[in-house]
Amino acid sequence: MQLVSRSDLGWGASGADSANPTQGLVVHYDGSDQGLAGKAHSACVSYWKSTRDFHVNTNGWADIGYSFGACPHGYVFEGRGLKKYQAAQGTTAGNRDWYSVTLMSGPGEKPPSAQVNAVRDLRSYLMQRGVAGAVRGHRDFTSTTCPGNTLYRMVEDGTFSKSGESKDDDMPEHRRYRGRDLDVRIPRGEWRYVPFNQRGSQRLDSFDYSVAFGPAQFVASVGIRLAGLAPGAEVQLRAVEVSASGDAWEIAQSYAINSPQHTNGRAHFTHTWNGNCVDGNRLRFYVTHFSTGDEPVVLESSDASVHTWSY
């Protein structure tokens, strides 16, 4: 993503209230044609600065109203930026829960491909930071013509929801992991890593506890075989996204826990998760049980099939 930051514009940190928008991205337009596609990129810089000046000095707002802007030359301009309350959507929930992007154009202008890709890249950038991939138009929140019929049709047909830097029809990367002859004892009620000692057909020198890393969307199916379970004992599998913190890894997000049961001492459990693993994070799996039998519960083998779509 080609970003023009606040510091590039000579601005300090935004004085807008803090928020944590996670629902997606809302598309806006100017309301009058700007003709910036036929001008030098410096005209976009001037436009963005004058927009902020109007919002602050005429409207009396704390900052420019939008989170970001997208110019016809393919650049994303930082407005209020990340983790800030909006002044764009027209509703409290909309301003608090959604990011905004305005295309520097008006109702008579069709955005060039570079401008469309800038919005797509911004969407991917936000998704890497835990924001949902939904795209809406300003008129979805309040009575307005914004973002105009041309842009709103693009919102509705999914034009802005496609991948930016990568092709929309890219095949996912597929990774296989296996753990054989593991003999990992699992105390009752304690979580243990699901380890792997093979990646595809490659034998690993040591156990690998991470099966994927961001930034990527993923679908992961994991199977484990346990021995020593009392009849009817509960087993729980958990997928966890972890982030680096110094020399350690900390949980960044936990996905849904599956709690299967069985009727004999040896059982094979499988579960599938999907989500977004952000840049620099890794995906790991854990298992625990609540067996009350006398036999030690042992993780004998593991399998994982992971499909990832990189941003």
Residues 110-135: tens digit of each pLDDT: 898 889 989 999 998 898 888 988 89
Q: Where residue 50 falls among pLDDT bands split at 50, 70, 90?
A: very high
Per-residue confidence band for 187, with pLDDT thresholds at 50, 70 and 90 = very high
Please tell me which of 102-116, 256-270, 274-288 the model is most confident about, judged by mean pLDDT. Answer: 102-116
Q: Higher model confidence: residue 266 or residue 200?
A: 200
pLDDT category at 169 given cuts 50, 70, 90 is very low
More confident residue, 215 or 86: 86
Query: Cβ atoms within 10 A of the Cβ of 139, count?
Result: 19
| Mean pLDDT across the chain | 85
Mean pLDDT over 229-250 rounds to: 75
pLDDT digits (tens, 9 = 90+) for 12-45: 999 999 999 998 999 999 888 888 988 888 899 9
Average confidence (pLDDT) over 172-183 = 85
Predicted pLDDT of residue 253: 57
60-79: per-residue pLDDT in tens? 999 999 999 999 988 999 99
Structural domains for the chain:
2-161 (3.40.80.10), 173-310 (2.60.120.40)
Give the tokens for residue 298: 């042992």
pTM above 0.85, yes or no: no
Please, are residues 134 and 25 in contact by the beta-carbon 8 Å criterion? yes
Question: Per mean pLDDT, which range of 75-84, 158-167, 191-200 is the poorest?
Answer: 158-167
Pairing of strands 75-78, 2-4: parallel
- CA angle 307/309/311 to nearest 5° reads 155
Report the candidate in 245, 172, 257, 247 with the shortest Cα–Cα distance to residue 212.
Answer: 172
Tell me: pLDDT of 247 over 80.
Answer: no
Distance CA 194, CA 222 (A): 9
